[in-house]
A and B are shown apart, each in its own frame.
Chain A
Amino acid sequence: MTQLALVIDLNVCVGCHACVTSCKEWNTSSEPGPLLDENPYGKDPTGTFFNRVQTYEIGEFPNTETLHFPKSCLHCEDPPCVPVCPTGASYKREKDGIVLVDYDKCIGCKYCTWACPYGAREIDEKQKVMKKCTLCVDRLYDEALPEAERKPACVLACPTSARIYGDVHDPESEVSTAIREEGGYQLMPEWGTKPSNHYLPRRKTRMHIHEDELVRADNPLKQEDIRHETSKEVTLDDWF
């Protein structure tokens, strides 16, 4: 069983919103029609988005840390939004585990949004159907695209590679390795929805510089020149 998902590295996300705009750009131009934008250049612009980047401040000044937090559908392994759908428009694909909405079957009753604890779904107020992240399912299998581009638009857009895409059921995949080795976790695990998307925590990056790294103790010029006493002085070679 394949379960395609994203792993989002909060340690390198800089909150640039490139994933938000690339997601909107790709999905508003795709087959099911545009994602609604109301008042895009006016006061209080609003519209349908599949992905947002939020910002949190952790700790108390001056010991604070800023966390940029991209939020989209987590493609749960046990998606609570699917069984509640009265029409069967909301479904989870057997093939790759992507949770999708059939826009031709959705009646816009919004019941699925009540059943999603993450608020991952947004109604399109013009088409009057529920929309959500498709994991760019229309890119993943498109053989007209070069193989390297058969990935979600947000993953391709991320300038810091904070978004990793792959099969979380394959233990050797890049995403599974990242989850396993970098402490990947799920959101709101208390509800048992088993989100497929994982997040990698913030990690402290510290530089460890040993004295040996500044002054080469084993400088061959010093060691091999037996005619002179080895000098304790820093030689010119140390700087190159």
Chain B
Amino acid sequence: MHPAFSVIFLTTLIGAGQGLFLALFTSESYAAVGLLPKQSHTFYAVGAFLALLLLIAGLIASVFHLGRPERAWRAASQWRTSWLSREVIALPLVMGLVALYALIHLFEWNPMFLGYSFGDKVTLILGGVTSAAIFALFLCTGMIYAAIRFLKEWFSPLTIINFILLGGASGFVLATVYSSYYAPNLINFFGLWAIAITLIAWFSRSASLARNARIKSTSTIQTAIGVRHTQIQQKSMGMMGGSFNTREYFHGKTLFFLKSVKWIFIVLTFPVPILLLWTGMQIDQQPLLLTAFVLQYTGLLFERWLFFAQANHPQNIYYQTV
């Protein structure tokens, strides 16, 4: 498929935003049972706003993917059948919940529900609900790709797992950077989680790369045109100047380019951030942590580009020669 930058930015930005919120909520729930020092309300509020900003940035990026963004509201209507429609509902829901979580922390609200006060547990309950919504959003985003059975590179549970792990990894790395500014006593907590999630993501993304390398196309030129002969050659695709079919489904790059992108993303997303995080935590250097996030995010842009480019659509069989 032809990788669209709007979707690359959408999925990586909201992934980082979702991951950041999950990181914040993890620390808050640890603190609630006394495993971590309690943080100020402002710490959670500002962190959640940061996550919200990433989600908004992702939403803005997604608008560029649409031909008719003014009709985007219609996209919420087919949630019964379309995972894209479900994502369109889940994303604003997550944004609203994250915003509410941030506001409650910021103003230290203690709303009453049916005459019952939750005390300081209100953000914990809301954070739990938000986390569930975030996982639902990850599921929707992943299923958009994993539900298309023709694109075998995507048609796998690994697609969803990778979206969760890669989004989680970048979010936890960002949380490490954030805590180094406002809550230094959480650096090790976030940093170790970030390293652990990045390691697991490394494993699962490698699994999907290995899977993609072995994929055998279900459709062949024989089934595509229905001729039973071993020697079939396309002589003309019916047009010379190209069409939507030749632009949307081909990445248009060489195999060497693809391989380079693969190694760039593997190096930038996994070992380099792990090394930088570890070193940054040991010698207490903020710039190293920040670099870890920037490099990992850049690596994720390469990763998402390859995710799209590797998917080989069966319609390409019909467009082998001008």
Write the residues of chain A forming the contact surface with B, with a CB cutoff of 8 angstroms: 17, 20, 39, 43-49, 52-60, 66-67, 69, 71, 80, 83-89, 105-111, 113-119, 121-123, 127-129, 185-191, 199, 201-202
Contact = CB atoms under 8 A, between A and B. Distances in A.
A34 to B, nearest CB: 16
B242 A44 contact: yes
A55 B74 contact: no
Interface string B143-162: 01001111100000000000
Contacts of B66: 107-109
Contact of A116 (B88, B231, B232, B315): B315
Contacts of B238: 17, 20, 52-55, 71
Nearest to B246: A46
B75 A115 contact: no
Contacts of A114: 1, 148, 150-151, 313
Contact of B233 (A39, A57, A105, A185): A57
B225 A84 contact: no
Contacts of B82: 83-86, 111
Contact of A52 (B71, B149, B239): B239
A115 B319 contact: no
A105 B313 contact: no
B84 interface: yes
Contact of A54 (B149, B236, B241, B315): B236
A186 B232 CA distance: 18
Contact of A86 (B69, B75, B234, B313): B75
Contacts of B316: 119
Interface in B227-257: 227, 229, 231-245, 248-249
A196 to B, nearest CB: 15
9 contacts: A46-B243, A53-B238, A54-B238, A80-B149, A84-B81, A84-B147, A85-B82, A88-B78, A113-B244
Given A121-B244, A129-B68, A187-B223, 12 more contacts: A46-B242, A54-B237, A56-B227, A86-B75, A86-B76, A86-B82, A87-B74, A87-B75, A89-B74, A113-B248, A114-B148, A129-B67
B65 A109 contact: yes
B243 A122 contact: yes
A16 to B, nearest CB: 12
B318 A119 contact: yes
Most interface-central of B85, B218, B242 (chain A CB within 10 A): B85
Contact of B224 (A17, A48, A188): A188
A188 B149 CA distance: 13
B72 interface: yes
Contact of B229 (A46, A59, A84): A59
A186 B221 CA distance: 13
A6 B147 CA distance: 29
Contacts, number: 178
A133 B213 CA distance: 35
Nearest to B228: A201
A96 to B, nearest CB: 21
A107 B223 contact: no
A122 B239 CA distance: 14
B83 interface: yes
B232 A57 contact: yes
B244 A84 contact: no
Question: Nearest 10 CB-CB pairs, A to B?
Answer: A108-B67, A119-B315, A128-B67, A52-B238, A83-B81, A86-B85, A44-B241, A86-B75, A87-B74, A122-B244
B119 interface: no
Contacts of B76: 86
A22 B221 CA distance: 27
Interface in B191-247: 218-219, 221, 223-227, 229, 231-245
Contact of A191 (B219, B233, B245): B219
Most interface-central of A49, A52, A66, A105 (chain B CB within 10 A): A52
A188 B223 contact: yes
Contacts of B314: 117-118, 188, 191
B234 A188 contact: no
Nearest to A42: B241
B77 interface: yes
Contacts of A20: 238
